[in-house]
Amino acid sequence: MITGKNYIGYMLSEKGGKTYKTINPKLNVENSPTYYEATSEELETAMDLASKAFISYRDMPGKRRAQFLNAIADEILALDDLLIETYMSETGLPEGRAKGERGRTVGQMRMFANLIENDDWREPVVDLAAPDRAPLPKPDLRQMLIPLGPVVVFGASNFPLAYATAGGDTASALAAGCPVVVKSHPMHAGTGELVASAIVKAAKDTGMPEGVFSNLNSAGIEVGQQLVAHSKVKAVGFTGSIRGGRALFDIAGKRKEPIPVFAEMGSINPVIITQRALENRAEEIASTYAQSITLGTGQFCTNPGLLVAIESEELTNFSKDLGNKTAAIAPQPMLHPNIVAAYDRNGAAIINENETTLVAQYDGELPINYAQAKVVTVSGEAFLNNSNLQQEVFGPFSMLVQCANQDQMLAVIANFEGQLTGTIIAEEADYSSMAPLVQTLQSRVGRIVFNGVPTGVEVSSAMTHGGPYPASTDSRYTAVGSHAIKRWVRPFSFQDFPSELLPSMLHNK
Amino acid sequence: MITGKNYIGYMLSEKGGKTYKTINPKLNVENSPTYYEATSEELETAMDLASKAFISYRDMPGKRRAQFLNAIADEILALDDLLIETYMSETGLPEGRAKGERGRTVGQMRMFANLIENDDWREPVVDLAAPDRAPLPKPDLRQMLIPLGPVVVFGASNFPLAYATAGGDTASALAAGCPVVVKSHPMHAGTGELVASAIVKAAKDTGMPEGVFSNLNSAGIEVGQQLVAHSKVKAVGFTGSIRGGRALFDIAGKRKEPIPVFAEMGSINPVIITQRALENRAEEIASTYAQSITLGTGQFCTNPGLLVAIESEELTNFSKDLGNKTAAIAPQPMLHPNIVAAYDRNGAAIINENETTLVAQYDGELPINYAQAKVVTVSGEAFLNNSNLQQEVFGPFSMLVQCANQDQMLAVIANFEGQLTGTIIAEEADYSSMAPLVQTLQSRVGRIVFNGVPTGVEVSSAMTHGGPYPASTDSRYTAVGSHAIKRWVRPFSFQDFPSELLPSMLHNK
């Protein structure tokens, strides 16, 4: 049952007078529950509880925290149809997507549970003493990773489950030993409350300290700003827009005690297509990319918003074909009326730049809140001279950059803002001369996909979901995969410690 | 030979009119060489060269970079007496210390050379494809760490070799594959130039690209500010004051593309002494700590500036004994007249606070630029109520906090600002009841030393030299030991790559 209240530790709480509702974008109606925005007092209580919970939670054995995480996964599944229906009513996304995302969320939670079943992830190092070393004796040093403290998580609008309340940030922080306070996303507050109830039930059932998790509602920016500025918060995870992520990063940087903010933000995920690939399989590439551009109504952080190739007859034909194929795909609703409005506004801004040409757009009937897919082209020279053309258009929109030659293509790649991914579509005969392209693209992205599509982010120990700014605020971390836990921990050293005071993972073998 | 010029890549350059000299603090005279402050034009050239050098340097095999690092070590040793004499003339520190620090510098360089002889430090991960996985095939993902780009290094005043031109920041960044531009410390510009000449010779001899290293002179703050704001700089290493480190952190955070700044800053390195330890060996502790407080004229970042214990007759006696023993140690010159002035000013500020009592200070003749060692006491209650008492007094100064009871001692510890180290002096009979003390102290520091002194930072794979702010700007990294390399690298993933385009370390075994 959705109450519209905040979870302050184990307590459902609604002390404030500010309320809001969510919207069903497909039907263009408000959903019925009323949500109560968290007050400053509720926020303080949540942070007090988190701070106290940290004292016992940080030193709890990994196996116990793993039980908690597995119980969260079980409780999310136990929400069953209510969760799926709420998700669909708040996003306009279809049932298959809802269930797939739930599977991913539960899978991530179990992956982190599995990771912390033993202490290898803490990277224990034992460097024994050498008392007789000259000129100075060498001390006994032992190091391991320890959690930072309470973490605030801001979920994404586009992944109400996998990058939200119990998403990768929350799962990795709880696994690390950090209590989590979630600033609930207002567009899917109901989905958020249901998942929060699952976490709270799991916490109670597995004997976690109250305050290990809280969920704060908010439709505005104040609650988030207060959280990031709060002295008891020790790190922040965010997934969303560049503007939003940068604002939080700036608040954190101005604190008396600055804290790390890992924000995964905008990306247009450039795709480089070689001439040989166009000659051999232009139609196949156009079909694949028309699908990738419109997948999930283009609302993926790895959506391919930019294609780059060298001018040729094949490219001209490819451009028309891609445009037609993209425009022919049945439109779908976007997540929220505000997101549709931004899509239309940002797409129009690109199309209104003098240098761009609209190749094709969906031209059938367009129900309210549905996105009109668009493909545009621009020359390599114009792209190089106009940084506005690198602004992300969140939705089923892609721009094809037509370069004059190979050198201009390398210049275009070198000029990219930081990106989550880059993709290379090439033929085997290209490989031997490709090193400069790979190297240049590598310097601008966190991951290169070869002969595939960037959409689809595998949860893997080898995944980098991050990249140079503005793809993320710190390219040294990933938001997806087991290494995501490293964002919430710091190394700690014990020097010349008596064995009985050392954590067991640092005892002599 | 010292020229006073900047190293812009391989070139000695003096385009500017601004000059300065270094001071011999022991003799209180200027040293003869004149140093030319780098101009904006020289800075631009250095950054252009660094940016270009990165293109080949980043992908150079580890073994070749290791040759470069070992050659730097050899060339530093080849500077022989000239380096030691210059060091002594610019710092007032004795020959033994100069040689010891040279040994440490060379040792660090060889440690990083050894680390990159193979690619394990890049943490390669291979996660093979599963094309038949349902509902979606699993891609082939391979991850490794890659360098960030050109790094700017600001060395410390107190370690003109080990934390400076070729110190731990430079060694770890060069090892990682990042070109380095050093902002030379004005107090030891001659030592800096000599070491820079060794690095440049090593770079030439081992065929490194020009621009892999530059050394910029500056007596003011402008060159440093320009460097941190420069778009071609991708990360910053700093060792020094909280004020200096925070200023650079703030500049980096305001950039269009923010970059990581690892600043190792102030610390008062609290020492907790149990009642049992005072009962059993108060005199030994006083002797050991009088030495540690005055070691290197108290100019270590891990100098014990704060001792904490519970009121007792033994503590009163210990306080007097520690004061007398500290005051009895022959004074030594500090690094620079400005540092003596700050020491006197900051010490007086603490002593002038109403709640503190001066126990003892050196009362013999004090040559100019020599430091007057001081020990003061304060009650636990006063310490809790006055955050001014946590300000670092850089030099041979320590404050003893006399707590009313165990609870107040825990409150005092919980109230510490972030510290590089904490130390516990205890007896075996204390261990069984010590967990709360260890846990509370752990939350405020990067390393705990047991029954020792914090001075002396071992170069080890288990060392954490960092800690919660303001000990450092990011507690997730260490400035000393092999893990220091992690500050300058980011994870990168290759998805479904053809084997011939993968780095060899990611090939199938």
Q: Please report the domains of chain B, with CATH numbers, ordered by start residue.
A: 10-21+33-127+145-265+472-506 (3.40.605.10), 271-450 (3.40.309.10)
Which pairing describes strands A29-30 and A23-24: parallel, antiparallel, or unpaired?
antiparallel
Contact map slice: A 89-108 vs B, CB within 8 A = 100
Closest CA to B235 of B265, B264, B263, B261: B261
- CB contact B148 to A (< 8 Å): yes
Give the percent of chain A with pLDDT over 90.
Answer: 98
Q: Between chains, do A495 and B59 touch, taking CB under 8 Å as contact?
A: no
Put simply, the chain B residues between 428 and 447 with a CB less than 8 A from any chain A CB are: 428, 431-432, 434-435, 438-439, 442-443, 446-447
User: Annotated active-site positions of A, please?
Assistant: 264, 301
Rg value, chain A, Cα: 24
pLDDT digits (tens, 9 = 90+) for B4-59: 999 999 999 999 999 999 999 999 999 999 999 999 999 999 999 999 999 999 99
| Helical packing angle, A189-205 and A62-78, nearest 10° | 130
Q: Which residues contact B189 (CB under 8 A, 6 or more apart)?
A: B4, B20, B22, B33, B35, B90, B217
DSSP string over A211-236:
TSEEEE--SSSHHHHHHHH-TT--EE
Distance separating alpha carbons of residues B466 and B265, to the nearest angstrom: 9
Closest CA to A98 of A76, A127, A129: A76
For residue A223, pLDDT beyond 90: yes
- Residues near A60 by beta carbon (within 8 Å), at least 6 away in sequence: A177
pLDDT at residue B381 in the model: 97
Tokens linked to B366: 């004090």
**Phi, psi angle pair for B204, to nearest 5°:** -65, -50
Q: Which of B292, B288, B360 is nearest to B327 (CA)?
A: B360
Q: For residues A197 and A166, is the Cβ–Cβ distance under 8 A?
A: no
Report in angstroms the alpha-carbon separations of A164 from A154, A156, A276, A464: 7, 6, 41, 19
pLDDT tens sequence across A13-59: 999 999 999 999 999 999 999 999 999 999 999 999 999 999 999 99
Nearest-CB residue to A452 (from B127, B452, B496): B496
Whether A502 and chain B come into contact, CB under 8 Å, resolves to no
Q: What's chain A's average pLDDT?
A: 97
Q: Does the bond joining B135 to the residue before it have cis omega, within 30 degrees of 0?
A: yes
- Single-letter residue type at A422: G
Integer angstrom CA distances of residue A250 from A132, A223, A255, B250: 50, 16, 9, 10
What CA–CA distance (Å, rounded) separates B219 from B23? Answer: 12
- Rounded distance between C-alpha atoms, residue A480 and residue A97, angstroms: 19
Alpha-carbon span B133 to B143, nearest angstrom: 21
| Residue given tokens 């005092």 in the structure block | B412
Contact B470 A438 (CB under 8 A): no
A419-425/A445-450 β-pairing: parallel
Separation CA A119–CA A201 (nearest Å) = 26
- Is B270:B293 a contact under the CB 8 Å cutoff? no
What whole-number distance in Å separates Cα of residue A55 and Cα of residue B436? 10
Residue A354 pLDDT grade (very low, low, confident, very high; cuts 50, 70, 90): confident
For residue B142, list chain A residues with Cβ-Cβ distance below 8 A. 462
Find residues 305-334 of chain A whose CB sits inside 8 Å of chain B: none
**Do β-strands B23-24 and B29-30 pair in parallel, antiparallel, or remain unpaired?**
antiparallel
Distance separating alpha carbons of residues B382 and B386, to the nearest angstrom:
6
Selected residue of B246, B257, B423, B492 to mutate for chain A interface (largest A Cβ count, 10 A): B492
Q: How far apart are CA B19 and CA B37, in angstroms?
A: 6
Of A450, A473, A491, the CB nearest to B258: A473
Q: Which of residues 455-494 of A touch B (CB under 8 A)?
A: 456, 458, 460-464, 466, 468-470, 473-478, 483, 486-487, 489-494
Structure tokens at A461: 């120990």
Which position among B264, B314, B392, B417 bears the catalytic label?
B264
Using the beta-carbon criterion (under 8 Å), do B461 and A143 form an inter-chain contact? yes
Is some CB atom of chain A closer than 8 A to the CB atom of B132? no
Amino acid at A372: Q
How close are the terminal C-alpha atoms of chain B, in Å? 51
Q: How near does any CA of chain A get to the CA of B433, in Å?
A: 10
How high is the pLDDT of residue B135? Answer: 86
A451 with B496: Cβ contact below 8 A? yes
Say how far apart CA A433 and CA A425 lie, in whole Å. 14
**Are A498 and B462 a contacting pair at CB < 8 A?**
no
Q: Chain B contact for A136, CB < 8 A?
A: yes
Q: How many CA atoms lie within 13 A of A125 on its CB side?
A: 19
- pLDDT for position A1: 86
The closest CB to that of B474, out of A141, A260, A489, belongs to A260
Q: CA A144 to CA B72: how far, in whole Å?
A: 32
**A199 neighbors A213 (Cβ within 8 angstroms):** yes
Four-residue CA torsion sign, B384, B389, B391, B394: negative
| SS3 assignment, position B219 | coil
Tell if the CB–CB gap between B458 and A486 is shorter than 8 Å.
no
Q: Which residues pair with B11 in a beta bridge?
A: B8
Do residues B263 and B250 touch, judged by C-beta distance below 8 A? Answer: no
User: What are the Cα distances from residue A272, in Å, to A32, A277, A467?
Assistant: 46, 10, 18
Q: What is the widest separation between alpha-carbon atoms in chain A? A: 83
Can you list the residues of chain B whose pLDDT is less than 50?
A: none
Instruction: Find residue B375's DSSP bridge partners.
Output: B360, B398
| C-alpha span between B181 and B409 (Å, rounded) | 45
Distance, in Å, from the CA atom of A42 to the CA atom of A230, rounded to the nearest integer, reads 13
Q: How far apart are CA B155 and CA B152, in angstroms?
A: 10
Q: Are B440 and B465 in contact (CB under 8 A)?
A: no
CB contact under 8 A, B55 and A491: no
CA atoms of B275 and B196, how far apart (whole Å): 50
CA A71 – CA A301 distance, rounded (Å): 29
CB atoms B497 and A450 under 8 Å = yes
Chain A partners within 8 Å of B433 (Cβ): none
Q: Which residues contact B506 (CB under 8 A, 6 or more apart)?
A: B124, B126, B142, B144, B494, B497
CA distance B97 to A392: 56
Nearest residue in chain A measured CA to CA from B55: A439
Residue A56 identity: S
Per residue in A320-350, pLDDT (tens digit) is 999 999 999 999 999 999 999 999 999 999 9
Whole-angstrom distance, CA of residue A285 vs CA of residue A297: 19
The C-alpha of A71 sits at a distance from chain B's nearest C-alpha, in angstroms, of 24
Of B445, B263, B385, B238, nearest to A258 by C-alpha is: B263
Q: What are phi and psi of A276, to 5 degrees?
A: -60, -40
In this complex, how many residue pairs, one in chain A and one in chain B, have their CB atoms less than 8 Å apart? 190
Q: Which chain A residue has the Cα nearest residue B488? A: A476
Mutate to test the interface with A, among B146, B288, B476 (most CBs of A within 10 A): B476
Find the residue in B nearest to A482 (Cα): B125
Residue B414 at interface with chain A, using a CB cutoff of 8 Å: no
| Helices marked H in B427-485 | 435-442
Long-range contact pairs involving B285-291 (C-beta distance under 8 Å, separation at least 24): B285/B318, B285/B322, B285/B425, B286/B318, B286/B321, B286/B322, B286/B325, B287/B325, B288/B453, B289/B322, B289/B326, B289/B398, B289/B453, B290/B322, B290/B325, B290/B326, B290/B328, B290/B329, B291/B329, B291/B453
- The confidence score (pLDDT) of residue A135 equals 86
In 3D space, the residue among B179, B2, B184, B169 whose CA is nearest the CA of residue B83 turns out to be: B2
CA distances from A312 to A272, A283, B47 (A): 15, 15, 38
Segment A386-411 mean pLDDT: 96
Q: Do B466 and A55 touch (CB under 8 A)?
A: no
Round to whole Å and give the CA distance between B72 and B109. 8
Q: Tell me the C-alpha distance between A432 and A423, whole Å.
A: 17
Sequence-ordered alpha helix ranges (H) in B9-94 = 40-57, 62-78, 80-91
